[in-house]
Amino acid sequence: MAVTTSNFKNGMCIMYDGKMWIIVEFQHVKPGKGGAFVRTKLKELKTGRVVDITFRAGEKMDDVRVETKRMQYLYNDGSAFHFMDTASYEQIELDADFVGDTAKWLKENDEVELMVADGDFIGVEPPMFVELEITETDPGFKGDTVQGGTKPATLETGAVVQVPMFINAGERVKIDTRDGRYVTRV
């Protein structure tokens, strides 16, 4: 199905230059002189790179239907990640390279969303917030809460995040997976 630049929405998936892209943001510009155009920031689905592309107003391109499948993360065998559809119990295996940085937020038995476009898996979306245990961090000392400083902490999945000084190893924390930011102690 073809869409024009006037139908653009953030999060929409389009086919451009033989590749699938997600529209991160766009801006319709009507200069005083010359034709209107649309400035976009597109993220390539396969590689994750983000580029700025300008289209003429009314330009047409193909729309890609993206669906999400809710699946349970089972385990990682070193070279692949294994997921299971909780409704049909069908299991799939995805390359570690494909999962990429998302792996640092995945804990066994967590529910994740796998994005599917044209029958191909194109991405793994972890939950927006995850609760993980801190395995290693410098000890906190009395009075550290006043300054509001942070220190690095290693989580059970291997991810390293900045946490407040009063957090100690063994505690569970809530992390925002969109930017890797500490939210609260659990």
Task: Please provide the average confidence, as pLDDT, over all residues in the chain.
Answer: 87
Report how far residue 114's alpha carbon sits from residue 72's, in angstroms, rounded to the nearest whole number. Answer: 10
pLDDT of 101 > 60? The answer is yes
Per-residue confidence at 54, pLDDT binned at 50, 70, 90? very high
Per-residue confidence at 66, pLDDT binned at 50, 70, 90? confident
Cβ 80 vs Cβ 96: under 8 Å:
yes
Here the tokens at position 34 are: 């010359």
User: CA quadruple 98, 103, 109, 110: dihedral positive or negative?
Assistant: negative
pLDDT of 146 > 70? The answer is no
Report how far residue 156's alpha carbon sits from residue 133's, in angstroms, rounded to the nearest whole number. Answer: 6
Q: What is the 3-state secondary structure (H, E, C) of 1-16?
A: CEEEHHHCCCCCEEEE
* Per-residue confidence (pLDDT) for residue 155, from 0 to 100: 92
In one-letter notation, the amino acid at residue 11 is: G
Q: Which CATH number fits domain 130-185: 3.60.9.10, 2.40.50.140, 3.90.180.10, 3.30.420.40?
A: 2.40.50.140
The closest of 73, 77, 80, 157 to 111, measured between CA atoms, is: 73
Cβ 16 vs Cβ 53: under 8 Å:
yes
CATH number of this structure's domain 2-63: 2.30.30.30
Domain boundaries, the chain: 2-63, 66-125, 130-185
Q: Which residue's entry shows tokens 């690095």?
A: 152
CATH architecture of 66-125: Beta Barrel (2.40)
* Per-residue confidence (pLDDT) for residue 32, from 0 to 100: 87
